[in-house]
Amino acid sequence: MANDEVIEVEGKIAAVLPGTMFRVELANGHQVLAHISGKLRKNFIKITTGDMVKMEMSPYDIDKARIVYRLRNNQIRRNAPIRSFGPRRRR
């Protein structure tokens, strides 16, 4: 599929499904089934319910999409754990 045949849309994650699949609601109320792209998977980008995402859809099947970017959500507080690199040594 060439890049000129791709429809870019934004949506909000409505549900997290098994196997890195997501139910995404578009601005017009339409819900699509989406999976994350390889770059997001490779860089361990976490996506949860309520996140705004940018997706690519094929004009031939508008019920499925590929998530290519997670938009910044400044107003949403994520309760992500602080990463620990083991106990600190005292000198």
Q: How far apart are CA 10 and CA 55, in angstroms?
A: 6
Question: What number of CA atoms fall less than 13 Å from residue 35's CA on the CB side?
Answer: 7
Predicted confidence at residue 5, as pLDDT, reads 86
Q: What pLDDT does 3 receive?
A: 65
Range 44-65 average pLDDT = 92
Q: CA–CA separation, 48 vs 15, rounded Å?
A: 8
* Nearest to 22, CA basis, from 12, 34, 37: 34
33 vs 74, which has greater pLDDT?
A: 33
pTM, to two decimals: 0.73
User: What is the rounded distance in angstroms from the CA atom of residue 80 to the CA atom of residue 18?
Assistant: 20
Residue 22 within any structural domain of the chain: yes
Print the domain residue range for 47.
Answer: 3-70
Q: What is the CATH number of the domain that holds 37?
A: 2.40.50.140
User: Is 79 a member of any domain?
Assistant: no
Phi and psi angles of residue 39, each rounded to the nearest 5 degrees, phi first: -65, -40
Residue 18 lies in a domain: yes
Position 83 in a domain: no
Return the pLDDT at 45.
Answer: 87
Total count of domains within the chain: 1
Report, as an integer, the average pLDDT of 3-16. 89
**54-70 mean pLDDT:** 94
